[in-house]
Amino acid sequence: MWSAAQPVATLSGVTADSIDITTLNSVKPLYLPGFAAHWPAVSAAQQGTAAISDYLLSHYSGEPLTAYTSSAESGGRVFYNTDFSGFNFQPVHATLEQLLAASDSGQHWYVGSTFIPRWFPHWLQQQQVPALAQHADNPLVSLWLGNQSRVAAHADLPQNLAVVLAGRRRFTLFPPEQLANLYIGPLDVTPAGQAISLVDFTNPDLKRFPKFATAMAQAQVIELRPGDALIIPSMWWHHVEALSSLNVLMNYWWRDSPGYAPSPQLALKLAMLSIKALPDEQKAAWRAHFEHYVFADDQAEHIPAHLRGVQGPLSEPLARQIRAELLNKLNR
C-alpha cells in the first residue's frame, strides 16, 4: 500500500552534540541515523528490554503517570470509539513499574508527552542536545512510552525533534498542503489535543476517503531504531506507529516565533467565527485582506514607520496591546 512512498531525506554523521540550530529548523523532514547512539538510554536499550526498563526506573521520580490503555482489539490505535461518542481508550493513573509489567499482557498502553523534569528529574543530565539548550526558546522536552500503538496523523505547531531511545517507530509524513486529502476530524473533540486524520493507515478505505490516494502519493515513510532521530517541521502531518513490546521516544518541541505570540490556532478559530458565514463575495474580499496583510511580504513601506502599528514589526508591548484590544471587543 505504501510501496511508492518517498524516502525521508537523510543527513548522516550529525549527532546530538554536533547539530546546529539551522539544521534543527529545517523546513523539510530530516532523518538523522545514529543521532543519539552515544546516549546512555540508547546503550541500555541495545542490551535489551530489562536493561532499558531498569534505566528508566533509575531516573523515575515515583509519581504516578497518566496512561491510555485499550484492549487487544484496538490494535493499539489511539482513536475514537465506534459511534464517535468518545474514545477507544481509558485513561489510568499508574506507576512506571505497573506499566512496564503490562508490556506483554496483551493490553495496549501508551504514555504521551511526559514532562521529563517532573517525572525523570535527572534524565537530561545524560541525554542532551546543546544547540537547543543554547538557542531555542525554552524547548519542551518529553518522553513517550508504551508497547505497540498507532497515533493518527496530526500536525503540531512547534518544530519537533523526535529521538527513538528504545524499540522501533515508523513515521509517515505529509506536507502541510495535504490537509484536504487527509480527512481531518473535529477540531474541538480530539483524542489528545490535536485534530487527527480519520483514515486508518493500516487499511485505508479509499471508497470512503478517495482523496487519501492523493495524499499517499506525497507520503514520506521512515522507520527509526534506537539512537535514530527525525526532524519534523512545524505543521507537517505525521502518523506514528510504535512497533515493539517496549518503545521509548524522547522529543523536543520549540517555536520559531516569540513566546508572546499566541498560537495561530486561535486566529483560525476566530476567523471561522467571524468570516465563515459571510456571503461568498465578502469571503473573497477577506481572503484578499489576509493575503495582503498576513501572508504577503511587507506591504506597509508607504506608511511612516511610527504609524504602522499592527503592520509594523511585532514586539511584546504591541502583542499585549493587540491582545487587550481583542479581549475588550470579544467580551462585549
Instruction: List, for residues 222-271, the tens digit of each pLDDT value.
Output: 999 999 999 999 999 999 999 999 999 999 999 988 888 889 999 999 99
Tell me the whole-structure pTM to 2 decimals.
Answer: 0.94
Instruction: Output the pLDDT for position 290.
Output: 94
Specify the DSSP class assigned to residue 184: B
Quote the CA–CA distance of 31 and 231 in Å, as a whole number: 7
**What pLDDT digit, counting tens, does each position of 27-50 carry?**
999 999 999 999 999 999 999 999
DSSP codes joined into one string, 137-161 = SS-EEEEEEESSEEEEEE--SSEEE
Domain ranges of the chain: 6-254, 264-330
User: Any idea what DSSP says for residue 301?
Assistant: T
Q: Is the domain defined by 6-254 classed in CATH 2.60.120.650?
A: yes
C-alpha cell at 20: 546546529
Give the pLDDT of residue 4: 66
Residues 6 or more apart in contact with residue 324 via CB below 8 angstroms: none
Lowest mean pLDDT among 64-78, 152-166, 270-284, 297-311: 297-311
The Cα 143–Cα 66 span in angstroms is: 12
Q: What digits encode the pLDDT tens for the residues 190-201? A: 998 899 999 999
For the chain, the distance separating the N- and C-terminal CA atoms, rounded to the nearest angstrom, is: 53
The pLDDT-based confidence of 133 (bands split at 50, 70, 90) is confident
When pLDDT is averaged across residues 88-96 and rounded to a whole number, the result is 94
How far, in Å, CA of 291 to CA of 21, rounded?
30
Question: Count of alpha carbons within 13 Å of 298, Cβ hemisphere only?
Answer: 9
Residue 3 has pLDDT above 80, yes or no: no
Half-sphere exposure of residue 325: CA atoms within 13 angstroms, side-chain side: 8
The CA distance from 189 to 186, in Å, is 6
Higher pLDDT, 1 or 70: 70
Give dist(CA 31, CA 229) in Å, integer: 6
Nearest-CA neighbor of 179 among 225, 132, 212? 212
> For residue 284, how many C-alpha atoms fall within 13 Å in the half-sphere facing its CB?
3
